[in-house]
């Protein structure tokens, strides 16, 4: 490999993650184009699509319980501010901040990354449904546990409990169609946050993005399915409603709205507005790596890797930029190279500074 090929190979390794996601913009380094954002989403979804049941379930369980913080703070602020339309909602996003910045699994977040992977025919529809079912069940169990704690402990005082019951009953009083359309706009907000989250490059930006976006839900009187389920469980624990009625009249229309809003209004639109360059730039074999129609419809729990392995790239990176497995391979390779020279004079060749490490330091 000559110097120009080595420099080009190293630049790709610095400007792309190990899974092929662009780390910098191609035109403007600190700004991603829409097709580059889509590549980042696809690469992240590809890494998570075959996540084991235990990891997926407990991550979604933690997310569901974190939503309890949203219900807790909204009811508490509503009571302490006497129902002020602005002040009462200022801490509503707290649960979503925990979830998104903490990397937990929330159902409405999964209306974008895994769906994008399915649209690219890199994962099957059964794989998508598996993620949706496991995450939704985990979210509901976590939200139910949180509602149980709020209902049967002294977290809420009497006044706040009455306010929380009133907030939850307000959703029950809405019609099916109103809940569906309000849920659709909430789904649009969540999927839009996920899209912009992958376009962001630092935690502070992500924090303000999540905070500002999720303020729209209480301010516009919209509904999120996991929050709605937590409210229904809170009402059921207090004997205000039958659980069956809450699920069919409140949770179901919000669930349908969140799903349609996230999938159609954000994911599909962004899929078709990105260019075919996402295939050419990110995968060596382009559309040839896509699943067949049969595999796509009735395939297994995972699809094909988004980015094929790039031999030689990892071996050129410094050890602190390698994963655990890659470090082991690099050390074994280094040991094999140095075996003939162990008893010889001088120091090892591998200890000398390399052009590659100097290049990465300059970068």
Structure tokens at 113: 């990354």
DSSP codes, 308-350: ---TTTGGGS-GGGS-HHHHHHHHHHHHHHHGGGTTSSS--GG
User: For residue 29, is it within any domain?
Assistant: no
Residues 61 and 141 in one domain: yes
Residues 59 and 134 in one domain: yes
Given a contact cutoff of 8 angstroms between Cβ atoms, the answer to whether 276 and 245 are in contact is: no
CATH number of 277's domain? 1.20.1080.10
Q: Which domain covers residue 78, as residue numbers? A: 34-298
| Structure-model confidence comparison of residues 331 and 258, the more confident one | 258
Number of structural domains the chain divides into: 2
User: For residue 196, is it within any domain?
Assistant: yes
What value does the mean pLDDT take over residues 252-279?
A: 83
Which pLDDT score, from 0 to 100, does residue 310 have?
39
Query: Maximum Cα–Cα distance for the chain, whole Å?
Result: 85
Residues 329 and 198 in one domain: no
Residues 71 and 106 in one domain: yes
Which pLDDT score, from 0 to 100, does residue 345 have?
47
| Structure-model confidence comparison of residues 18 and 240, the more confident one | 240
What value does the mean pLDDT take over residues 4-23?
A: 51
Confidence of residue 351 (pLDDT cuts 50, 70, 90): very low
- The dihedral built from the CA positions of residue 211, 156, 226 and 57, taken in this order, carries a sign that is positive
Residues 190 and 56 in one domain: yes
Burial tier of 199 (Cβ tally within 10 Å: 0-12, 13-18, 19+): middle
| Structure-model confidence comparison of residues 325 and 194, the more confident one | 194
Which pLDDT score, from 0 to 100, does residue 99 have?
96
Instruction: State the angle between helix axes of 176-199 and 252-262 in degrees (0 to 180), rounded to the nearest 10.
Output: 40
Residue with tokens 């078709």: 272
Residues 259 and 334 in one domain: no
Given a contact cutoff of 8 angstroms between Cβ atoms, the answer to whether 306 and 122 are in contact is: yes
Say whether pLDDT at 258 is over 50.
Answer: yes
Which pLDDT score, from 0 to 100, does residue 117 have?
86
User: For residue 141, is it within any domain?
Assistant: yes
Residues 87-103 pLDDT 10s: 999 999 999 999 999 99
What value does the mean pLDDT take over residues 108-117?
A: 89
- Contacts of 28-33 spanning 24+ positions with Cβ under 8 A: 30/201, 32/199
| Mean confidence (pLDDT) of the chain | 80
Residues 120 and 237 in one domain: yes
Which pLDDT score, from 0 to 100, does residue 267 have?
80
Which pLDDT score, from 0 to 100, does residue 265 have?
77
Which pLDDT score, from 0 to 100, does residue 119 have?
86
Residues 90 and 131 in one domain: yes
What value does the mean pLDDT take over residues 231-245?
A: 96
User: For residue 211, is it within any domain?
Assistant: yes
Residues 164-216 pLDDT 10s: 999 999 999 999 999 999 999 999 999 999 999 998 888 999 999 999 999 99
| Structure-model confidence comparison of residues 187 and 276, the more confident one | 187
- In angstroms, how far is the first alpha carbon of the chain from the final one? 21
Phi, psi angle pair for 16, to nearest 5°: -130, 145
Structure tokens at 343: 């008893």
């Amino acid at each position: 490999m000559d110097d120009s090929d080595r420099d080009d190979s190293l630049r790709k390794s610095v400007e792309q993650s190990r899974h092929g996601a662009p780390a910098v913009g191609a035109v403007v380094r600190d700004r991603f184009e829409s097709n580059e954002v889509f590549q980042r989403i696809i690469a992240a979804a590809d890494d998570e699509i075959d996540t084991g049941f235990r990891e997926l379930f407990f991550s979604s369980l933690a997310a569901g319980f974190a939503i309890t913080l949203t219900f807790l703070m909204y009811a508490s602020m509503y009571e302490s501010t006497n129902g002020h339309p602005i002040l009462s909602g200022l801490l509503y996003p707290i649960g979503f901040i925990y979830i998104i910045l903490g990397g937990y699994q929330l159902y409405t977040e999964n209306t974008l990354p895994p769906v994008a992977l399915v649209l690219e025919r890199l994962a099957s529809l059964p794989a998508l449904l598996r993620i949706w079912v496991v995450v939704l069940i985990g979210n509901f169990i976590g939200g139910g546990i949180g509602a149980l704690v709020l209902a049967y402990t002294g977290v809420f005082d009497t006044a706040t409990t009455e306010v929380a019951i009133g907030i939850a009953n307000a959703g029950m009083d809405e019609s099916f169609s109103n809940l569906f359309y309000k849920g659709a706009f909430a789904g649009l907000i969540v999927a839009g946050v996920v899209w912009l989250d992958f376009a962001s490059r630092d935690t502070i930006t992500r924090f303000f993005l999540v905070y500002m976006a999720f303020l729209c839900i209480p301010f516009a009187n919209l509904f999120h399915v996991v929050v709605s389920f937590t409210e229904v469980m809170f009402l059921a624990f207090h004997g205000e409603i039958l659980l069956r009625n809450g699920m069919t009249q409140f949770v179901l229309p919000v669930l349908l709205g969140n799903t349609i809003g996230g999938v159609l209004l954000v994911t599909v639109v962004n899929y078709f507005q990105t260019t075919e360059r996402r295939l050419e730039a990110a995968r060596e074999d382009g559309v040839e790596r896509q699943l067949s129609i049969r595999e796509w419809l009735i395939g297994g729990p995972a699809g094909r890797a988004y980015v094929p392995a790039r031999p030689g790239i990892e071996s050129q990176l410094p050890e602190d930029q390698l994963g655990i497995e890659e470090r082991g391979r690099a050390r074994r390779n280094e040991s094999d190279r140095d075996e003939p020279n162990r008893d010889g004079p001088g120091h090892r060749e591998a200890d000398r500074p390399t052009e590659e490490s100097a290049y990465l330091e300059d970068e």
